[in-house]
Amino acid sequence: MRVQSNPEYCLGCGLCRLYCAAAHDGYDGNLLKAFKRGTPQPRADLIVRNDKSWLNTCRHCHNAPCINACLTGALQKDDQGIVFIDSQRCVGCFTCVMVCPFGHIQPSRDSYRVVKCDLCRDQKGIPACVSFCPNGALSLTEEVETR
Amino acid sequence: MTLSLLTPAFSVGRNEERCIRCGVCVNQCINQVHHLDEDGFMWVTEKNCVGCHRCAVLCPTQALTITRFPLDFRPNQYWSADSLREIYRQAESGGVLLTGMGNPRPYRSYFDHLLLNASQVTNPSIDPLREPMELTTYLGDHSAGLSEAEKPLLKLEIPVMFSAMSYGAVSLNVQKSLARAAREMVTYWNTGEGGLHDEVKEYADCTIVQVASGRFGVSPDYLNNAAAIEIKIGQGAKPGIGGHLPAEKVSPGVAQTRMIPAWSDAISPAPHHDIYSIEDLAQLIETIKVATDFQKPVAVKVAAVHNISAIASGIVRAGADIVAIDGFRGATGAAPLRIRDNIGIPIEMAIAQVDQRLRDEGIRPKASLVSAGGIRNSADVVKILALGADAVYIGTAALVALGCHLCQTCFTGRCNWGIATTDRQLSKRLNPEIGAMRAINLLKAWEHEIKEMMGGMGINAVDSLRGNRLMLKGIGLEQHELDLLGVSPAGA
Amino acid sequence: MLKLEGDIRIPAGCAIAAVLNRSGQRFDGSTIIASIATMHKRSNGLGGGFAAYGVYPQYRDHYALHIFYDDAGAQQMCERYLMHHFRITEREPVPVRYTRKIARAPLIWRYFALPREDSLSRQQLGEEDFVAAVVMTINSDLGGAYVVSSGRNMAAFKGEGYPEDIGEFFRLEEYQAYLWTAHGRFPTNTPGWWGGAHPFTLLNWSVVHNGEISSYSTNRRYLEMYGYKISLQTDTEVIAYAFDFLMRKEGLSLEDAIDVIAAPFWSKLDRERQARLRRRYASLLLNGPFSIIVATNNGLIAVNDRIKLRPLVAASRNEYLYVASEEAAIRAVAPVLDRTWSPGGGEPVIGLLHNQEGLLEAPSTGLETNARSA
């Protein structure tokens, strides 16, 4: 499972990133709380190239290089195939940041750990980026890349 | 010209407690109203705002409000603020005032002065949830006797079709949305005068192709790749004048579809230069029927003008199977403002008069009557059918379903909603899957409502609503208006 | 001042009944009176009437014109008009029995007449179209005169009152007919006018009807296109004209006509012809609750609207066919029956004389219509 972008209908508005940021780090989806009081950090990147734009986010690879590289076992795959990070175990070595072929995993802005897309697994629903995309350019797909 | 005397039409309000500087308003406004500088300071260029609400609708924290710019002139019943601004505009530009969409003037809307009937006691109302309720409609020439071959007819499962809107005037994604919705709901969409793009050819079974004075995109293949052909003589927003698609909207895709050079103006003449009279129209109708082997109904669309009854009678006698009449509320991508606001007559009057005239002449079964221009909701549909129309075209209502906010600046080609534009980036803003779903939802909602209203009248087939003027009563109308509409006043 | 029927449209509830002897044996009017009287409560004393077929065998070829007059002046004017167009063989008041229960009776006359040859050829119409046109002109243009019936060997008797009282008034026990239909009316206001009662007739057609046609204006405006003058503004009038148009003018079979006026739902059509009929005659679909009995000299059909919103029961016993709004009205005159049934919506009960194949003789005028040439 992963989030797929359709550049044909991506407006480049960036709402996906806003809602992504607010969906994590305990902001509970509250944009005002996240952006007025906190230091929200989106788990995905909006790429804009000429007249195309798309959301660059975790592929949740089979045989994911990040999991293989993780020293502490903080990066794991759950039974749905979602690659997620157990922050308690992350020591901030950033090996995963270096091995991710898509440049997706990022160091956290405020502590020695990394953050990444977890498909909003805590909310147990459609990821925030997908449900708030105003133009239906994002969707959840079962296709997973193998690395 | 140094100083412009024009003040902004709209004021943009930003609630600083809510604005999170996300920049969505900045990247969504093609008119560059919003700016965010490196210091995180937001400012606005209000004179650019057209009031389309794109920024306010997409703002994730509802930080934006758009209001009319609070700058009042000294009150004057005669010289309204609009009339002053229009003069300032012309004094600065020296040009014809352009506008988009339909006539917004406060002329009387007869729809709002007609009330519908319902059954009580003497007649049971019918519950559409429990009993069948039929909206199936066949458009075309019904006059062939049972021993003769039946003329080609269009079958509609809801008597609502999508008006002609050309690729060029609107984005291809609009056409894709409407075509999908038409197929799903078993009705028709109309290409307008802009040819048929390859990507919508697959919808031939629910497509009406238009032949208009510029003949853009017309070929035997075009005529045959459709369920019906419509000859456009005029449209309600601008009766008596042609069309002008400005060069900047003629993208390579539009150019290819219209069979003209890219980035050149596409001009439709005011009249068809092969139709200077009714007998010429008869020849074009015949030509098109021959070109399509008499397999498809031919419609003729005209604007509702003063002598519409005689015109419609002539059109039927010229061999048209469907007469589409576009009232003065009909919209357009671009029209001179004076023409849009001052020419034509209300569709309610036109349909009432044409229906009666065709009956008086005994030729009503020879053609179906389609009402276009200004249908806002399902009650309007029911009322115009009761006045005598067989079906309606909706254009504005369909575009509003797709996101249009009626800012009336379609002619600029910079539609923030991705509707009245051919710009690649802007066109993306209308995802045809979402567009189709919204158009389908609108028709389904209207379908339910029409059925409820029919059931209330004790009618379970739309056939029995058509021309059923006893189901209408006028309210607040003068006697001559009631007579023209063929209805009696409420209470009588 | 209350408006007369014809000035406004008045919906009504009703009782209907009919008795047919299929071998053409005639019987007197007491049977049908007894049948309709059983449904006394279904009417309110503001209208009752009967149609009788086979009542004037001695004038079999003549048009029997029954006419109501408001006064002698109207009669004089109308008779002058009639003389102009008809040779009148016999002219007499319709015999009545004055009773306390019946009031405000108009002058009631009958004429046995044949169209004048010269008048016919001048009008360039077929004989039946000619008679129909004369009847419509009298009803719409000659004030104070109203043609109650105009067929051959048939007559309509109707007026203001309960049907059984109207039957007594018109001395129906003295008439012999092989087919009787009856109607008791429950109008929703009282115009106090005899012409408003049922049956409604045109030529040999008679219609009694219980219900309200919601599609009235659609049907009416369609028929007007073909030269029908709708003077009464009653649903019944429109039904009679619809049958006349479909069967006499358009030459449709009885089956086809039923498929038009009570068309099956699109989803239930099983023959292409039904779909074709629906498309062509969409404006003649009778929509709304009704049960009707349409009769001609050849027999009757009784039919409900397509979702059966009004009652209708049929029964048979030997040569007799009975139809009524309620089974009680049939049992009252025929306690023992071979078969009783309740027809479904749009499912016709057809009763024809033994030697007849349709309600009309062979199509008289084919597909010719009154429509102006297009």
* H-helix segments, C86-212: 117-123, 127-141, 163-169
- CB contact A125 to B (< 8 Å): no
pLDDT at A145: 64
Summary mean pLDDT of chain A: 91
pLDDT, average across residues A21-44: 93
Which CATH number goes with the domain that contains C138? 3.60.20.10
- CB contact A38 to B (< 8 Å): no
Cis peptide before C199 (omega within 30 of 0): yes
Q: Is the pLDDT of residue C231 over 80?
A: no
Looking at the whole model, is its pTM more than 0.90?
A: yes
Q: Is the pLDDT of residue B93 over 90?
A: yes
Chains B and C touch (3+ CB pairs under 8 A): yes
Q: Which CATH class is domain B10-95?
A: alpha beta
Q: Is the pLDDT of residue B306 over 70?
A: yes
Buried b (16+ CB within 10 A) or exposed e, B277-292: eeeebbebbeebbebb
pLDDT at C5: 62
Q: Is the pLDDT of residue B244 over 90?
A: no
Q: Which residues of C touch B145 (CB under 8 A)?
A: 367
Give the lowest-confidence range in B349-358, C2-11, C23-32, C329-338: C2-11
Q: How confident is the model at residue B74 (pLDDT cuts 50, 70, 90)?
A: very high
Summary mean pLDDT of chain B: 95
* H-helix segments, A51-105: 65-69, 95-99
B473, B488 Cβ separation under 8 angstroms: yes
Q: Is the pLDDT of residue B57 over 80?
A: yes
Assess if residue C55 is contained within a domain.
yes
- CB contact C267 to B (< 8 Å): yes
Give C122-177 pLDDT, tens digit per residue.
888 889 999 999 999 998 888 899 999 999 999 999 999 999 999 999 999 999 99
Q: How confident is the model at residue C188 (pLDDT cuts 50, 70, 90)?
A: low
Angle at CA B248, nearest 5°, toward B244 and B249?
65
Higher pLDDT, C373 or C119: C119
Q: Give residue A74's identity as a one-letter amino acid code.
A: A
Extract the tokens encoding C22. 């299929």
B362/C226 Cβ within 8 A: yes
- CB contact C324 to B (< 8 Å): no
Closest CA to C266 of B452, B465, B156, B136: B136
Q: Which residues of C touch B465 (CB under 8 A)?
A: 218
DSSP string, C248-261: IIS---HHHHHHHH
Give B250-301 pLDDT, tens digit per residue.
999 999 999 999 999 999 999 999 999 999 999 999 999 999 999 999 999 9
- CB contact A31 to B (< 8 Å): yes
C287/B464 Cβ within 8 A: yes
Q: Is the pLDDT of residue C365 over 50?
A: no
Inter-chain CB pairs, B–C, below 8 Å: 108
Q: Shortest Cα distance from A36 to chain B (angstroms)? A: 7
Q: Which residues of A touch B60 (CB under 8 A)?
A: 15, 18-19, 31, 132
Q: Is the pLDDT of residue B11 over 70?
A: yes
Q: DSSP assignment, residue B211?
A: E
What is the interface pTM, i.e. ipTM, of the complex?
A: 0.91
- CB contact A138 to B (< 8 Å): no
Q: Note the residue count of chain C.
A: 374
Radius of gyration, CA atoms only, chain A: 15
The residue of chain B nearest to residue A137, with distances taken between CA atoms, is B431
Closest CA to A124 of A64, A84, A70, A75: A84
Catalytic residues of C: 14
Q: Shortest Cα distance from A32 to chain B (angstroms)? A: 7
pLDDT over 70 percentage in chain A: 97
Q: How confident is the model at residue C192 (pLDDT cuts 50, 70, 90)?
A: low
Contacting B residues, span 411-430, partner chain A, CB-CB under 8 Å: 424-425, 428-430
Cα gap A19→C247, rounded to integer Å = 71
pLDDT at A1: 87
C279/B142 Cβ within 8 A: yes
The residue of chain A nearest to residue B55, with distances taken between CA atoms, is A13
Q: Is the pLDDT of residue A100 over 70?
A: yes
Q: Where are any strands of DSSP class E within A24-67?
A: 45-49, 52-56
pLDDT at C7: 66
Q: Where are any strands of DSSP class E within B418-475?
A: 472-474
pLDDT at C367: 37
C280/B144 Cβ within 8 A: yes
Q: Is the pLDDT of residue B96 over 90?
A: yes
**What is residue B359's three-state secondary structure?**
helix
pLDDT at C372: 36
Q: How confident is the model at residue C374 (pLDDT cuts 50, 70, 90)?
A: very low
- CB contact B15 to A (< 8 Å): no
Could you give the number of structural domains in chain C?
A: 1
Out of A32, A36, A134, the one facing B58 most closely (by C-beta) is A134
Q: How confident is the model at residue A43 (pLDDT cuts 50, 70, 90)?
A: very high
Q: Is the pLDDT of residue A19 over 80?
A: yes
pLDDT over 70 percentage in chain B: 100
Q: How many CB atoms lie within 10 A of CB C212?
A: 25
Q: How confident is the model at residue C88 (pLDDT cuts 50, 70, 90)?
A: very high
Domain A2-141 CATH assignment equals 3.30.70.20: yes
- CB contact A32 to B (< 8 Å): yes
Higher pLDDT, B24 or C12: B24
Cα gap B108→B396, rounded to integer Å = 19
Inter-chain CB pairs, A–B, below 8 Å: 50
B208, B275 Cβ separation under 8 angstroms: no
Domain B111-489 CATH superfamily: Aldolase class I (3.20.20.70)
Q: Which residues of A touch B36 (CB under 8 A)?
A: none
Q: Shortest Cα distance from B140 to chain C (angstroms)? A: 10
The upper half-sphere exposure of residue A80, i.e. CA atoms within 13 Å in the direction of its Cβ, equals: 15
Q: Shortest Cα distance from B460 to chain C (angstroms)? A: 7
Q: Is the pLDDT of residue C370 over 80?
A: no
Summary mean pLDDT of chain C: 89
Cα gap C302→C341, rounded to integer Å = 12
Q: Is the pLDDT of residue C371 over 80?
A: no
Q: Which domain holds residue C147?
A: 12-211+290-352
End-to-end CA distance of chain C: 43
Cα gap C308→C85, rounded to integer Å = 43
pLDDT, average across residues C31-37: 96
A19/B60 Cβ within 8 A: yes
- CB contact C214 to B (< 8 Å): yes
Q: Shortest Cα distance from A71 to chain B (angstroms)? A: 36
pLDDT at C247: 92
Q: How confident is the model at residue B408 (pLDDT cuts 50, 70, 90)?
A: very high
Q: Shortest Cα distance from C105 to chain B (angstroms)? A: 28
Angle at CA C294, nearest 5°, toward C292 and C297?
160
Q: DSSP assignment, residue B325?
A: E
